[in-house]
Amino acid sequence: MEKEYKKSYFLIPGEANAQQEMPLTLLATKIIEIATEHANTLNIGHASMVDKNLGWVLSRLTVEMRHWPKVNEHYTIITWIESWNKHFSERNFEIQNAQGETIGYARTVWMVINTVTHENAGTTELCLQDGLISDRECPIAKQAKLKIVECDNPVNYTFTYTDIDFYRHVNTVKYIALLVNQFTMDDSDRCSLSRFEIAFMSEGKYGDQVQVMRQTVDGVSSFAIRHGEQPLVRARFALRPR
């Protein structure tokens, strides 16, 4: 069992966005993938939890990128556990280019749910062996409390079949895709994402009709996805000129 887990990838054209770069949704997918693989090697992954009706869910994700991998480029993601307690676990990531240079970091907070009741179950049913918490630093700031967002012209959306994952709630990456789609092609041609933060607050379900709220100040867009008065997600995007 290793404190750190590393995996290399190659960005093919079919995975890229219109700017011929890795999209945020793909990075989120790879972060979840490599976290799952590392957890499985530590015997705290899905394979060790399914018989207990338990599963990991992402509670918070924070990403900072200096550069985004481009089409036909190799990149590597390294992950490690920063902390573990009876309520949640913090796991970090470093993203490197083909030359081994750091191009970004990510911070995540994970919680365990009962997959039958969908209630918070804590980590007490899992056993992380001693010595597997890493002292490796992650230099980006932890996620602060995300602001309450109100607006006069929310975007309406109904969650459909392809938005739902095997827990039968809205998939993490589908929330992110819905938020990314609030930006125009011109926005993405002119600017690149430098920091992204998202906090998952409640479950979205199939058929839920939600409202996407947005406020933008000085190049920072704050979002909320609400189902009625219930916030499902809050997020923040900080962009920089290309």
Q: Which domains occur in the chain, in start order?
A: 1-142 (3.10.129.10), 144-242 (3.10.129.10)
What is this structure's pTM? 0.96
Would you tell me how many other CB atoms lie within 10 Å of the CB of residue 36?
Answer: 13
Does residue 147 contact residue 136 with C-beta atoms inside 8 Å? no
Q: What are the pLDDT digits (tens) for 28-55?
A: 999 999 999 999 999 999 888 999 999 9
What pLDDT, on a 0 to 100 scale, did the predictor assign at position 127?
A: 92
Q: From 53, 25, 74, select the one nearest 178 (Cα to Cα).
A: 25
Each residue of 152-189: b (16+ CB within 10 Å) or e? eebeebebeeebbeeeebbbbbbbbebbbeebeeeebe
Give yes or no for residue 219 having a pLDDT over 90: no
Q: How far is CA 217 from CA 196, 214, 239, in A?
A: 15, 10, 11
Contacts with 138 (C-beta within 8 Å, 6 or more apart), sequence order: 82, 92, 93, 94, 105, 107
Convert the pLDDT of each residue in 108-167 to its tens digit. Answer: 999 999 999 999 999 999 999 999 999 999 999 999 889 888 888 999 999 999 999 999
Rounded to a whole number of angstroms, the distance between the first and last alpha carbons of the chain is 41
Query: What pLDDT sits at residue 177?
Result: 99
Whose tokens are 């230099």? That residue is 139
- Residue 31 burial by CB count (10 A; 0-12/13-18/19+): exposed, middle or buried? buried
Residue-averaged pLDDT of the chain:
96
Beta strand spans in the chain (E): 4-10, 54-65, 74-84, 89-97, 102-114, 155-158, 191-200, 209-217, 220-227, 230-241
- Burial-class residue 28 by CB neighbours within 10 Å (0-12, 13-18, 19+): buried
